[in-house]
Structure 1
Amino acid sequence: MTKFKPAAEVLPASLRKKLGVRGPQKTPTKERITIRLSREVVERFRESGEGWQTRVDAALREWLKNHSPA
């Protein structure tokens, strides 16, 4: 371990920029859950790229504007 170097010395600049960017949330805005969705739905959202879970949330919010979950 004496040969270890600080991360700032060995990581590329692109990764160093990401370190320490975000701290803990003061008030969480989302709740972690487990949900089972059809494979087709998950694949289509994942194909849309990074942030797909946020887009699923947005789609469900939009649906709730005109429908009752019951």
Structure 2
Amino acid sequence: MMPPRDVPARQIRLTSASHPNRVKLRTSRTGRYDRSFVPRVSRLWNNLREEAFPSSTNLRQFKNRINKISLGSS
């Protein structure tokens, strides 16, 4: 399904702390959408540090790294 043409995709500036697993966010016309699940979680995902992501697909290692980062022990 194609997004509406009047809602352009917005590029997020990548910082030195960015990671290759970032997702693109779309500009919304309402604050209500900005506070909904998908955009809010997408911003959280994009703000994760690169060291949160293991070099291979390993869910357990990813969860352990996220917990370590969120507890401030990294």
The interval holding the TM-score normalised by the smaller chain is under 0.3
Choose between structure 1 and 2: higher strand proportion.
2
TM-score (norm 1): 0.27
Structure having the higher helix fraction is: 1
Q: Which is bigger in relative contact order (C-alpha 8 A, separation at least 6)?
A: 2
